[in-house]
A and B are shown apart, each in its own frame.
Chain A
Amino acid sequence: MTAGHISIVLDGTPTKVPAGSTLRETIARHIDRELDASSAPIDGGRLGVAVAVDGMVVPRGDWHDHLMVDGAAVDVVTATQGG
């Protein structure tokens, strides 16, 4: 483990994030969009993603207060072609 970083599994891929990162910061980096404190995109568009941590849905309103912990499995999902 790199000093100052923790390891999480982000969308199935082992990923290092700075220790003390919030879920909101982690997701913003992953989807490459800036998010405000309520996790709404600052570009004005709809977010279109949802997040589960260790198999439990974390509502976007809680992302800001959700601190990443070492070993967490974070799944970020969106709509794709299907059905």
Chain B
Amino acid sequence: MDDTVNIAGVELDSRLIMGTGGATSLATLEEALVASGTQVTTVAIRRYAAAGGNSVFAMLERLGVHALPNTAGCFTARDAVLTAQLAREALETEWIKLEVVADEDTLLPDPLELLTAADELVADGFSVFAYTNDDPILARRLEDVGVAAVMPAGAPIGTGLGILNPHNISMIAEAAHVPVVLDAGVGTASDAALAMELGCDAVLLASAVTRAHDAPLMARAMSAAVRAGRDAYRAGRIPRRSLARASSPAEGRIAVP
């Protein structure tokens, strides 16, 4: 069934974007990435020495997966813009997952710095994938400055708390004219399915897979969940009712004399 999603000019068959953070080894990460079927994966930009050389870049080259560099660890628009420029130079891509967070404890986006950085990066020719709060108005403002995708958090990064405000996520998905990617907070497969049922175009997750007991198996589960949720969204769920409605016919029932 043809149900691709076009993000920043690239047609993707898989609506699951798997990040590379949190894996215990490169071998496990590679196995999980393959099991997830993802065509895009996030990477962080760090000093060469601290990164232990070029091994992650080389692996993505080998797997043919699009690298989506992030600005993780940036607290100001200024830091995020420099990191994005370095990422573009290093990975030869205009794509940037823009993260500008407020503090280490919540890792929640700082709305003002985020919007400033998004505006600057769009003007500089980047395709900005904006990691944002589950705030429909901020999502709209990001779209207004020209981001390629809006990526609201279901819950804070790495918490696995799922989607804390499904109503807001649904509002963001309904209003957006750019792809909406649920990013952060996913703990297990049902969270990913819910994101898609709410109308998101894709799901981005990392820890839920890389920190699972069996990462490749969880990657497979997430892939199935995203497809199931997407199909359910497209199929159109039945309305919720407060009272029961029988599915067996009322006529012809046996009456006990």
Contact = CB atoms under 8 A, between A and B. Distances in A.
Interface of A: 11-13, 30-31, 45-52, 55, 57, 59-60, 75-83
B47 A50 contact: no
Nearest to A60: B89
A40 to B, nearest CB: 12
Nearest to B183: A83
22 contacts: A31-B48, A46-B57, A46-B92, A48-B54, A48-B58, A48-B90, A49-B54, A50-B87, A50-B89, A50-B90, A52-B82, A52-B86, A77-B45, A77-B46, A77-B90, A78-B51, A79-B56, A80-B43, A81-B23, A81-B44, A82-B44, A83-B72
Given A76-B47, A83-B206, A49 B90 contact: yes
Interface residues on chain B, size class: 35 or more
A57 to B, nearest CB: 5
Contacts of B48: 11, 30-31, 49, 76-78
Interface string B28-66: 010000000000001111111111111011101100000
A54 to B, nearest CB: 11
B86 A79 contact: no
Contacts of B50: 11, 80
B66 to A, nearest CB: 12
A79 B82 contact: no
B143 interface: no
The 4 closest A-B pairs by CB, nearest first: A82-B44, A83-B42, A50-B89, A50-B90
B29 to A, nearest CB: 7
Nearest to B88: A50
Contacts of B90: 47-50, 77-79
A80 B52 contact: yes
A30 B56 CA distance: 18
A76 B20 CA distance: 20
Contacts of A76: 47-49
